[in-house]
Amino acid sequence: MMDKLFAGVRIRCLEKADYDKTGQKWSVFLAPNTLLKAVARLNDDGWFLEDVCAVDSVEGFLVLYHFDHWQKSGRLSLKVLVPHDDPRVPSISGMYQGALWHERETHDFHGIVFEGHPNLIPLLLPAEADFHPLVKDAKSRLPLKDLMVLGEVVSCEESIQALFPEEAEEAAAEQGGEEAEAEAES
Amino acid sequence: MTRYPNMEQVTGDFYTQNFEKGAREGSLILNMGPQHPSTHGVLRIILELDGEYILRCDPVLGYLHRMHEKMGESKTYRGFIPNMGRVDYGCPLPWNWAFVGAVEKLAGIEVPERAEYIRVITTEMNRITSHLLWWGAYILDLGAFTPIMYAFDEREWLLDLLQTPTGSRLTYSSFRVGGVGHDIDDKFIEGLKAFIPYFRSRLPMYKDLVTDNIILRKRVEDIGPMPLDMCRRYGATGPVIRGSGLAYDIRRAEPYGIYDRFDFEIPTQDTCCCMGRYKVRLAEFEQSLRILEQAVDQIPDGPIIMDKAPKPSWKPPKGEVYFAVEGARGKTSVYLVSDGTKSPYRVKLRAPGFSNLSLFAEAAQGTLLADAVAILGSLDLIIPEIDR
């Protein structure tokens, strides 16, 4: 289902999450430059945005977009990893106006810059605030592999698989063929 | 230019100045709130007016921001539950449920039957008290004083009852990971059984006195249209979306707890206007009563919390989890990332009012200022939940 939805969009990693454990059905890693294309597909397919948030990790900020659907229930999470020193992702507020505030909030809390946002001013913090409260110091940051697990991997680029070392070997053995296909498609 | 000590009141603060940039020649910029009675707490809205018509507007948030998400990162899982009682004071039990539900899902914890029933009973009672608060306050916004007295009379009965299982009257934090904190007794059940027919007998009076009242109808019918497409773009949920004709309720769409055992309907109205949202909430009274009746009949004896329930030093497995419940205002959910220590690594609270209010600026564009108050009230806002 997801392969079809995202056909032609370059996906860094597509995994079927364990709904009973994570409350999510699909999890999709994307590069910042393919985010808008993927979100446009969701928009055409009638998904709605639940929220946007970020998680601070050793590898960078993981910006998360949670989507759900009115008819076909099943949470989908788009994940975009951006570096600490230049955290930029395109704003999806052109398609989902609900993101206007979620993105401002994420900018407040983590300092993520949403490019193309029409009004990226503080939402919840005071206008003069010069800090981002949810950014962790280097000591308390943890790598992504300690925070989440990959579910059933459908396709995955090496750069993402390298972040989750335990899963890497199994997934590569099972999904080697499909991965090559996904590469060819993109 | 003389520097006045209160220069901000003359020139406007950062938000006003930012808003003024796009203003049309000859229009009036007006600050409504943060201390305005119809903004229910401390919401501020900057409006650009042409006469009485709104050209555009922009809500300013943050006056009640407490950074619950940061607090979550330094508290234990058990220690964070009281925060959940304070996110939304109008309907805190769904927030309790969203958080403990997320933790239970993450750790694979089963909740005892009796605790599941107590959760349903208290949450549905809380939904009624929340809708009553909204109903009274909304009519008050629109200029009628009496109905809030009736609403609070009924609400008082429920608050008295809820003291037994929750220990408080407003900021409930009685859910625990693996169950609930307090049991309910026979006196509570008796009281609830007496309340249900009484409240049901009052609902026709609500209709005759308020819903059918021509003054109310003129204020809310066909005001503030929110078509489904607009709701989807903003991620609106709860009575807002059901008032636009879509039967989307987390209790059905993504059943949690034991909601799949109860027979109830999801009321909808397809007028998309303030009256639609109003009627949905009033119809939800009856559906909550139906759930309560069934739950009170079916509740089994047994423990109210799992064996060896998590202590403050308890550590869940690592991982991420997203858990959503249906609050009085819509989809209330918690996204949790655990690193396997005593405190969460990241807690994200998804407040339904946040998404519902973000829709306001578009819905109010081109309406009369007085109608904007009707639209704002129809969204059922609880500002602490929006600011978190």
Q: Which residues in chain B have their CB less than 8 angstroms from residue A135's CB?
A: none
**CB contact B339 to A (< 8 Å):** yes
**CB contact B234 to A (< 8 Å):** yes
CB A121 within 8 A of CB B18: yes
Closest residue in A to B19 (Cα) is A119
Residue B383 in 3-state DSSP? Answer: helix
Closest residue in B to A119 (Cα) is B18
**CB contact B227 to A (< 8 Å):** no
pLDDT at B193: 92
* CA angle, A144 then A7 then B237, to 5°: 65
Number of other residues whose CB lies within 10 A of the CB of residue A116:
13
Domains and CATH numbers, chain A: 2-143 (3.30.460.80)
Residues in B 306-325 with any Cβ partner in A closer than 8 A:
318-324
Q: Which residues in chain B have their CB less than 8 angstroms from residue A118's CB?
A: none
Inform me whether the pLDDT recorded for A113 exceeds 90: yes
Lookup: tokens for A12: 């860094």
Report how far apart, in Å, the C-alpha atoms of A79 and of each of A35, A57, A61, B160, B343 are: 9, 13, 10, 46, 23
Judge if ipTM > 0.90. Answer: no
pLDDT digits (tens, 9 = 90+) for B342-384: 899 999 999 999 999 999 999 998 999 989 989 988 998 888 8
**CB contact B273 to A (< 8 Å):** no
Report how far apart, in Å, the C-alpha atoms of A48 and of each of A72, A75, A139, B19 are: 11, 10, 36, 28
Strand ranges (E), chain A: 13-16, 26-30, 47-57, 60-69, 76-82, 88-90, 113-115, 152-156
Lookup: tokens for B346: 């990241």
Residue B34: pLDDT band with limits 50, 70, 90: confident
Query: Token pair 């202590």 is at which residue?
Result: B311
Report how far apart, in Å, the C-alpha atoms of B28 and of each of B6, B7, B35, B44, B48 are: 21, 19, 20, 16, 6
Sequence length of chain B is 388
pLDDT digits (tens, 9 = 90+) for B173-209: 899 998 898 889 889 999 999 999 999 999 998 888 8
| DSSP code at position B305 | B
Number of H helices, E strands in chain A: 6, 8
pLDDT digits (tens, 9 = 90+) for A167-186: 545 445 444 444 444 444 44
Residues in B 172-211 with any Cβ partner in A closer than 8 A:
none
Sign, CA dihedral B173-B175-B181-B186, equals positive
Query: Of B297, B292, B306, whose CA–CA distance to B259 is shortest?
Result: B292
Domains and CATH numbers, chain B: 7-60 (no CATH), 68-387 (1.10.645.10)
Sequence length of chain A is 186
Residue B4 in 3-state DSSP? Answer: coil
